[in-house]
Amino acid sequence: MKPQNEILISGFTMVRNATKLYYPIKASIESILPIVDEFVVALGNCDAEDHTLEEIQKINSDKIRIVNTVWDLEGYPNGGEYAHQTDIAKSECKGKWLFYLQSDEVVHEKYLPAIRKKCEELENNNEIEGLLFDYKHFWGDYSHHIVSHAWYAEEIRIIRNNPDIHSWRDAQSFRRIPNFDGRSYFQKEDTFKLKVVKVDACIYHYGWVRPPQLMQKKKISFETDVNGKEKVAEMFKDASNEFDYGDLSKLEVFKETHPAAMNEFIARFNWQDQLYPNRSFYQKHKHDKTKYRVLSFIEQNILGGKQIASFKNYIKVKPSR
């Protein structure tokens, strides 16, 4: 690893129960390891049957540094603990740029040179606070992905190492929050969207690709973290133990290659016969609703992919020379 004063990019993430809930944490870390000078993992208190630590140790890299944490879901409710854990990992990073990946996000190796080059070009341009990435959201299997107004098309994944920049809300994004109190991750007042530049790269999001039973377990786990056990017990009291992915035939077919780091994980795919792409009855998800299908059609076929009035937690700028 380079001396501290030469570290350009730190990778970081937070994770808990990755193997129990079928997160590709090993692939996620490995995918950007070649272009980061260190990778910090905030590893939460996993359940006894989980093997996340062993999965990370398989990578066998001296770039990786693990920070052991204990999750406080009562102290940081409504998903705020995700942001809190992200901030813990961020605070341990030494690089000028910080590359954040959630444990279901992976980067294709074809994008690594462009990402590193952009960080080098903007290294001393303090006007730019972050880099913005495109997203591919895979759904059900590794052959379908969602292109919909109902899903975010872009998000910040590289930020400048500024102590005023914090994870925001449930850790999907970041904001600059001067004088942050360390707890109010959902505050809007006195917070500032980051000034960002688009990088020619894409994050591959695999958070909705799991065997149906594990997808349901993951959904229940997430809802429990956000809403508490009592409310979730009521929410899922009549639910199936298998997640219904709905009609995959209406989704975009993925015809490119996946990141090489995902090869081992994708080889485990064995639930094709549990997917029902053409059946007449299925659970409808947000992206299946008529409103979003119409909006998505207009955006993709008339507006060149530009989303209509979607929320953007960033300010795109052109860097000054």
| 12-48 per-position pLDDT tens digit | 999 999 999 999 999 999 999 999 999 999 999 999 9
Residue 305 has pLDDT above 80, yes or no: yes
User: Averaged over 164-180, what is the pLDDT?
Assistant: 97
Looking at the structure, give the CATH architecture of the domain made up of residues 4-136+155-206: Alpha-Beta Complex (3.90)
Average pLDDT over all residues of the chain:
93
Greater model confidence, 114 or 310: 114
Annotated domain spans of the chain? 4-136+155-206
Predicted confidence at residue 278, as pLDDT, reads: 54
pLDDT band at 4 (very low <50, low <70, confident <90, very high): very low
Instruction: Give per-residue pLDDT as tens, 138-169.
Output: 999 999 999 999 899 999 999 999 999 999 99
- Rounded to an integer, the average pLDDT of 85-107 is 98
Is the pLDDT at 319 greater than 80? The verdict is no
Residue 240 clears pLDDT 90, i.e. is over it: no
**pLDDT value of position 321:** 59
Amino acid at 7: I
